[in-house]
Chain A
Amino acid sequence: MKSTPRKPSRRATNGHSPQGNDGESNRWNLRLYVAGQTPRSLTAFKNLKDICEEYLKGQYHIEVIDLMENPTLARGDQILAIPTLVRKLPQPIRKIIGDLSNTERVLVGLDIQPR
């Protein structure tokens, strides 16, 4: 987590950059909404990253949106809770709120694991 630069408001993080960037990495398009650098958002990002690395290696793309800087973006995905993870792809859209500390629930929420 520490290694991740956080300056830009929108920030794409691919799984393993050397591996297939195209096609595969866009299969899971995830968007994490945060509001400033709160410990909770940092935890959420770390948890997400860990889960993705473990279950979706090479197939995901994470976009982090800081609503403090771009409050208008909250409207598009109807964000209320912070942090919120939105699965843009694959369809349908799913939302997971919270700091993603419960890995099992995250997997269920993302439909990686059957309910």
Chain B
Amino acid sequence: MTTNSRRPRSKPTALQKERTGISGFDEITRGGVPHGRPTLICGSAGAGKTLFAMEFLVRGATQFNEPGVFISFEESSEELATNVASLNFDLNELVAEKKLALDYVFIERSEIEETGEYDLEGLFLRLDHAIRSIGARRIVLDTLEALFSALPNEAIIRAELRRLFRWLKEKDLTAVITCERGNGTLTRYGLEEYVADCVILLDNRVENQISTRRMRIVKYRGTSHGTNEYPFFIDERGFSVLPITSLGLFHKAPTERISSGVSRLDTMLSGEGFYRGSSILVSGTAGTGKSTLAAHFVEAACSRGERTLYFAFEESQDQIIRNMRAVGIDLERFVKRGLLKFHNSRPSAFGLEVHLAMIHKAITDVQPSVVVVDPITNFLAVGDTIETKAMLTRLIDFLKTNQITAMFTSLTSAQSEIEDSEVGVSSLMDAWLLVKSIEANGERNRGLYVLKARGIAHSNQVREFILTDHGIELIDAYIGSDGVLMGSARSGQIARERAAELDRQLVTAHKQRELRRKQELYEAQLAALKGQYETERDAILRDLDEEKKRIEVIAVQRSEIARLRQADNSGNNNVKIQDNGAKKARKGTVR
């Protein structure tokens, strides 16, 4: 290392990195392995060291036009070529194209006798020759520690290794050196002492009989890097490291809404359904129709022409298609059109991390806009609640970052509280539908609530949820003094209510009739009274008239008498006033 610091070349600027091309690895190391320096890959047997190293070279040769040399101390070139052929790496072709050189260094301890001093110049010459032959920029020394078991003098080996690393740096080669993991140490022979720039640990742990591969950057001098353990897996396309532990809350929040596939449910969600890119939890006890809800959601998405990915952890693809056909949802046509893809696996087939990795990869491959995970609770069979929650958090983050709308179903046990989602992930979810089976009067009915829907003015009502041969129907449940009634109790209650309503209508009609009768009665009485009044009035008026005539007669007689007695006219005035009063009275009655 001291030589390194003395070299003026490595002094300036930040550390230069060499991309490995291994999916995910360059992300967690923020650029790859250190350029022109050795990187140590340690791990126990079967951790994937050789494969990592080989992929580093193959990707270098094919993607970055950097030829590489693979020096193997354990496997012959033919064995190597066969081993990695399963990953679609054609070593022989790369060798023929002079993009790759393989050299198998084999040392048989029993053949070797040691007398006096020696060095490993032979190895150096071989490396040098291989490097020159193809102009290599990368080199792999696969299990360099084989030297320790091959040669008796450890002091010489150590001295030579130090020289080797210096030599590699001087040649500006980006080297990957694999090492067997020691007991309690990173490497069995303490090679990390020499390669102090970048140390990566591969691990294959078995928990609950399920093995999970993990990778950790133990050390990376002069650069920041992810410090977590990252799960990885090896499939037909090589290594996949998952930088998914990088949690973040920086995802965008689209305002677009998408249908849940059940129009009545959309109505409950202020008429428009869920937000795109949101995470929806559907929880409920067994047999409450969670998967059917999910299937509706899928159908809606596929009908809009969006790609959908269905992760099923309980049923096979055929089984889901058959069951959904029974409730009138035809998913097969979407599968045929390539819009819907199923990804079926048993939860216990892999560890949580690998599941996450698989989901990650499938999503990256398919690029769906809608994802269904059915159910998430099954992951509890693989990990505990904390682990499962951590895994789902990462999954949800990943989905949100990619603006994928996701529906998760969760099975709750019948005993637990309705709000108790087993995995405790409800806080991560944007919307939460609860399908509860309500048992009363000897029958089980399903009720659907929207427990939460962030940013949506959602209904607070319980809807009865019925599975018909044309899918899900939501019906208003009866909520009254007797509590929530559903099923036959609801229809009974509705019938009773109808009867009561009818009764009330009869009573009203009766009262109205009575009112009319009363009105007629009083009007008749009014007419009679009026008649009587008029009769009486006429009589009175007649009396008054007679009285007037009588007064007039008397007045005439009086004036006759007065004339006879020769008196004045004052008496006439009184008669006129009386006449006016009678006229007034007559007017009043007419009005």
Contact = CB atoms under 8 A, between A and B. Distances in A.
Interface string B230-269: 0000000000000000000000000000000000000000
Nearest to B147: A80
A98 B122 contact: no
B106 A97 contact: no
A76 to B, nearest CB: 11
B167 to A, nearest CB: 14
A46 to B, nearest CB: 12
Interface of A: 33, 35, 40, 43-44, 47, 67-68, 71-72, 74-75, 78-84, 92-102, 105-106, 108-109
A88 B265 CA distance: 86
| Among B106, B128, B129, B147, residue most surrounded by chain A Cβ atoms (within 10 Å) | B129
B125 A109 contact: no
Given A97-B113, A108-B113, A81 B118 contact: yes
A33 B115 contact: no
B96 interface: no
B115 A81 contact: no
Given A74-B125, A75-B126, A100-B115, 7 more contacts: A68-B125, A74-B122, A80-B151, A81-B120, A82-B119, A92-B111, A99-B118
B114 interface: yes
25 contacts: A40-B119, A67-B121, A68-B125, A74-B122, A74-B126, A79-B126, A81-B118, A81-B120, A81-B151, A82-B122, A83-B118, A93-B111, A94-B111, A96-B114, A96-B115, A97-B113, A98-B118, A99-B115, A99-B116, A100-B116, A102-B115, A105-B113, A105-B115, A106-B115, A109-B115
A35 B113 contact: no
A84 B111 contact: no
Contact of A98 (B106, B117, B128): B117
Interface in B292-332: none
| Among A33, A71, A92, residue most surrounded by chain B Cβ atoms (within 10 Å) | A71
Nearest to A78: B106
A90 to B, nearest CB: 14
B119 A81 contact: yes
Interface string B109-143: 00111111111111101101100000000000000
B117 A40 contact: yes
Nearest to A66: B125
Contacts of A40: 117-119
Contacts of B105: 78, 80
A71 B126 contact: yes
B103 A82 contact: no
B7 to A, nearest CB: 25
| Among A92, A93, A95, A105, residue most surrounded by chain B Cβ atoms (within 10 Å) | A95
A75 B151 contact: no
Nearest to A100: B115
B107 interface: yes
A80 B107 contact: yes
B125 A97 contact: no
Given A78-B105, A80-B107, A102 B116 contact: yes
A94 B113 CA distance: 8
Contact of B115 (A75, A82, A92, A101): A101
A82 B120 contact: yes
B117 A101 contact: yes
A78 B108 CA distance: 9
| Among A35, A72, A80, A109, residue most surrounded by chain B Cβ atoms (within 10 Å) | A80
| Among A81, A84, A92, residue most surrounded by chain B Cβ atoms (within 10 Å) | A81
